[in-house]
Structure 1
Amino acid sequence: MKKILAALLVLAAQQTFAQSNQETLFSAKKNGKKTTIGAYGVPAAKFTPIDGKFGLLTGGYGGVLLNGKIMLGAGAYSLINNVETPTLNTAGYKDYVNLWYTGFVAEYIHNSDKLVHWTAGALLGGGGVGRRDKNKWDNDDWDHNNVYDQSGFFVAEPFANLEVNITKFLRLDVGASYRYIAGSSTAGITDGKIGGPSLNIGLKAGKF
């Protein structure tokens, strides 16, 4: 019995030692090195048609970077310029598109150490669209914005960029994306009018 118990203890010790060398997501070795963990953020601008007119979206994305290749994080964008849409109000004020969206972002970076390389990824999430009237009250010098007829939607936006390493901690991204919108119900502003292609530019800063 003592011999059997001793043998079991030796076997258990061997198994414990073997498990201590197992690979995990954050300890897996590649070329003798452990997984590296970094992070970055990307303030960005998107030039895109909204309801057939020029639209400018600003915002950005960022998150945790694994092995200098895979980023997992989040992003958000909103329309900042006045894109006029046919009015539905009876007061005669002009109506403008009010648009924003946010969601989970994943990005793959190919050959990150090269001066010029490419990246690809996607944003998956949701947002809101509505009508914004911009008017001036009597005896009032300030413009006022009233957002109404709002609705939510699903958004999926795949993207691809060319990236240039400016410094060790700073990179320039130029690329394109396509914004797929589904589920909005704001009168006169269809999914197709607020979805579509974008030309994008961003400045990526962080630990790569």
Structure 2
Amino acid sequence: MKKWLITMLVAGCALPVLAEKESVITYEDHWNMYSKFDLQLADIGGDLAPIGGIYAGGLLNDRFILGVGFNSLLGKVNTDSAFLKDLEFMDLWYAGLHTGYIFQPDALIHYSVECLIGGGQLETESVSGLNSSETLFMVQPTLGARINITETFSIGLNAGYLYVDASDTEALKSSDLSGATVGIFLHFTEF
């Protein structure tokens, strides 16, 4: 009886060795690197502003996006202010965490939901020549439609909203910087 009891005890202690370890990401999952380049038109203060962006990071199972992104003003934007000069190249920039999900990435045409959340800076110059700089908090959710050109390259269109929260100045408010966006992008994997 003692032998059976000891055998059962040893077998019971050894049983966890046979169990598989559970985890969110398993060895069957695969990570790819991705890069994305986009050109957007954003409604800033009632004026269409060209904004360019570059994104890079990891792509889990060709679906989950986790990376970083950087966007910057590429052209001139009229501020409609008697106190400020127009915004120019790099006067507005923002960067942050880029997350998202790609639906059915193996289909020829597929869709994505993405979000860039982070911070940035707005540089303004008054008509009298005084420069000021403001720190921004921003969130930019987008919906996109893509078409696969090759296994590792797709082209897409997106639409979203740029929400900017800044310490409002007398001449330029957060609501002037926030607005709808539309754009075109190139998306590469395994670069």
List per-residue Cα deviations over 1:77-116 (Å, max 9, x = no partner). Answer: 0112111323537xxxx44262111111111111100000
> In the alignment, what sits opposite 1:26?
25
State whether residues 83 and 126 of structure 2, in contact with CA within 8 Å, keep that contact through their aligned partners in structure 1.
no
| Whole-angstrom distance in 2 between the partners of 1:132 and 1:202 | 31
Residue ranges of structure 2 left out of the alignment (5+ in a row)? none
User: Against the structure 1 CA distance between its residues 59 and 120, is the aligned structure 2 distance closer, same or farther, given a 3 Å change threshold?
Assistant: same
> In the alignment, what sits opposite 2:36?
42
Out of 59-68 and 38-47, give the one that drifted further.
Answer: 59-68
**Distance apart, 1:190 and its partner CA:** 0.7
User: Against the structure 1 CA distance between its residues 65 and 55, is the aligned structure 2 distance closer, same or farther, given a 3 Å change threshold?
Assistant: same
> In the alignment, what sits opposite 2:56?
62
SS of 2:87's equivalent in the other structure is strand
Residue ranges of structure 1 left out of the alignment (5+ in a row)? 29-33, 135-145
What TM-score do you get using the length of structure 2 for normalisation? 0.86
**Distance apart, 1:164 and its partner CA:** 0.5
Aligned-residue CA RMSD (Å): 2.4
Q: Which amino acid aligns with 2:13?
A: A
What TM-score do you get using the length of structure 1 for normalisation? 0.80
Calculate percent identity across the aligned residue pairs: 27
Alignment of 1:51 onto 2:52: no
State whether residues 152 and 185 of structure 1, in contact with CA within 8 Å, keep that contact through their aligned partners in structure 2.
no
State whether residues 149 and 187 of structure 1, in contact with CA within 8 Å, keep that contact through their aligned partners in structure 2.
no
| Whole-angstrom distance in 1 between the partners of 2:97 and 2:115 | 8
**Distance apart, 1:194 and its partner CA:** 0.9
Q: Where do residues 1-208 of structure 1 align in structure 2 (5 Å cutoff)?
A: 4-18=5-19, 21-27=20-26, 34-85=28-79, 86-88=81-83, 94-96=85-87, 98-132=91-125, 148-207=131-190
**Distance apart, 1:23 and its partner CA:** 3.0
State whether residues 48 and 196 of structure 1, in contact with CA within 8 Å, keep that contact through their aligned partners in structure 2.
yes
Q: Which amino acid aligns with 2:12?
A: L
State whether residues 152 and 190 of structure 2, in contact with CA within 8 Å, keep that contact through their aligned partners in structure 1.
yes
State whether residues 158 and 177 of structure 1, in contact with CA within 8 Å, keep that contact through their aligned partners in structure 2.
yes
User: Against the structure 1 CA distance between its residues 26 and 79, is the aligned structure 2 distance closer, same or farther, given a 3 Å change threshold?
Assistant: same
| Whole-angstrom distance in 2 between the partners of 1:171 and 1:63 | 16
Q: Which amino acid aligns with 1:180?
A: Y
User: Against the structure 1 CA distance between its residues 180 and 207, is the aligned structure 2 distance closer, same or farther, given a 3 Å change threshold?
Assistant: same
> In the alignment, what sits opposite 1:143?
none
**Distance apart, 1:72 and its partner CA:** 1.0
> In the alignment, what sits opposite 1:139?
none
